[in-house]
Amino acid sequence: MDIRWDWIADNWDTILGAVWQHLILVIVPLVVGFGISFGLAVWAIRQPKVYGPTTVITGILYTIPSLAAFALLVPIFGFSMLVAFVPLTTYTLLILFRNIVAGFQAVPREVLEAADGMGYRPRQRLLRVELPLAVPLMIAGVRLAAVTLIGLATVASILGSSFGGLGQLITEGLQTFFPTKYVLGGVLSVVLAFVVDIVLVRVERLATPWARARAERAGA
């Protein structure tokens, strides 16, 4: 198997374009999915009976095979980006919803009681106490969702070149028996997954200096 490094050098712009498109396929569903899941999670912690049905529905959505979902949406949306964005978003819901709820539930009861007792209004408590304390579990969910999306976005490009991304490199490489292209597509997917995960770990550390303080004390 020959890797044609000259092809890589000549097509640098195409490759970077594919990476960028792939990121779009990950970031847009992740942001939209987080927004929806956050709303559902806040609703579920206020109204515990919401939790069960939401888990069932997001669970069913998660079960739909990805390729089938993409194929079924083509008649509805044509070959627009929505065909990729809609299923990719729904795949994040189960992971993000459950993790955000777990994040809120992990906030110690006495902290909430102290916040209420000192006169936080409900929204102030949510934004200034519950949200920052839920961050570690939320980001754990985001990492999981992001890595899942990077894999699924590769599948999306099987449907057509309009979605682009690293899957496009793989599909085209396989179709034209051009190993350089599909190996590169595969390697870059893996690298992208690691890079995104590392970036999110960094974000978590920056957002939770207090958690590091705790770890230092425990280690000391």
Partner 1 sequence: MTASPTTESRAASVEFDHVTKVYDARATKTGAPGAVNDLSLTVPAGKICVLVGPSGCGKTTSLKMVNRLIEPTSGRILLDGVDAATRDTTELRRGIGYVIQQTGLFPHQTIEDNVVTVPRLLGWDKARMKARSDELLSIVGLDPARYARRFPAQLSGGERQRVGVARALAADPPVMLMDEPFGAVDPIVRERLQNEFLRLQEQLAKTILFVTHDIDEAIKMGDLVVVFQAGGVVAQVGPPSEILANPASDYVARFVGTDRGLKRLSLFRIGEVPLSPVVTARVGGDGAAARRAAAETPFQYVLVTDEASRPVGWVHRDRLTTGVVSADQVESTSPLLDRRTTLKDALSMLLDADVQAGLVVDRTGALRGMVTMDDITALMRERDARPLDATERAAADAEDAADADEGADADEGAGGAEPTSPASDPPAPADPDASDAA
**Cβ proximity to partner 1, 7 vs 120, nearer residue:** 120
**Cβ proximity to partner 1, 25 vs 130, nearer residue:** 130
Residue 214 interacting with partner 1 (CB under 8 A): yes
**Cβ proximity to partner 1, 20 vs 205, nearer residue:** 205
**The two three-digit tokens of residue 178, written as one number:** 């051009």
Give me the least distance between CB of 119 and partner 1, in Å please. Answer: 4
Residues binding partner 1: what is the number (CB under 8 A)? 26
State the Rg of the chain over Cα: 21
Return d(Cα 124, Cα 11) in angstroms, integer: 52
Of 120, 158, 172, 193, which lies in the binding site for partner 1, with binding defined by CB under 8 A? 120
Residue 114 interacting with partner 1 (CB under 8 A): yes
Per-residue contact string for residues 140-159; x = within reach of partner 1 by CB under 8 A: --------------------
Residue 202 interacting with partner 1 (CB under 8 A): no
Applying CB under 8 A, which residues contact partner 1? Answer: 108, 110-111, 113-121, 123-124, 127-129, 132-133, 208-210, 213-214, 216-217
